Amino acid sequence: MSARVIIDSLEFALNGKELRGEVPIGMLDRLSGELFDRGGNLQYSLYGQTDQRQRPQLRLEVRGEVLLQCQRCLGSLPCPIELVTQLLLLDEKTSDVDAGVEDLDAIPVNAELDVWSLVEDEVLLAQQIAPRHMEGQCEAASKLKDDAASPFAALAGLKDKQLN
């Protein structure tokens, strides 16, 4: 089993560090309620940097695939994950307005930032509220169409028998 990765976010960003790894999907407890299957891994890359105004930032890239549960048929729904997030680090003295964070996501500076939790947060934010298969691909929808035709066909057959 892999060990969780903890970093000092400010030190990581200011020193331009890089980190790559994998997160076992089964270890992401908050995400597990949304999943059909908890197997597999997500690959991540985390980069520390500063912007033109020397503000510390983290750049997170996550790739992989999770199997969500279709809300229509309750079956497996593969969902590819390819996200890139730029996160501005804010300390207690700096508010979003002071930092000029109109178009950036921001998180507080954390001396013990759990990278796996950060990956899980970003994957949760990227998920659909009610994931479903595309129209015509869902097993439940096609089964409903098949089932809907047969009771009426059976009734029509009974009616024809009574008339003869």
Read off the pLDDT band of 140 (50, 70, 90). Answer: low
**Straight-line distance from the first to the last Cα atom of the chain, in angstroms, rounded to the nearest whole number:** 72
* pLDDT band for position 151 (cuts 50, 70, 90): low
Q: Quote the CA–CA distance of 73 and 158 in Å, as a whole number.
A: 31
- pTM score of the predicted model: 0.76
Among candidates 27, 19, 64, which has minimal Cα distance to 43?
64
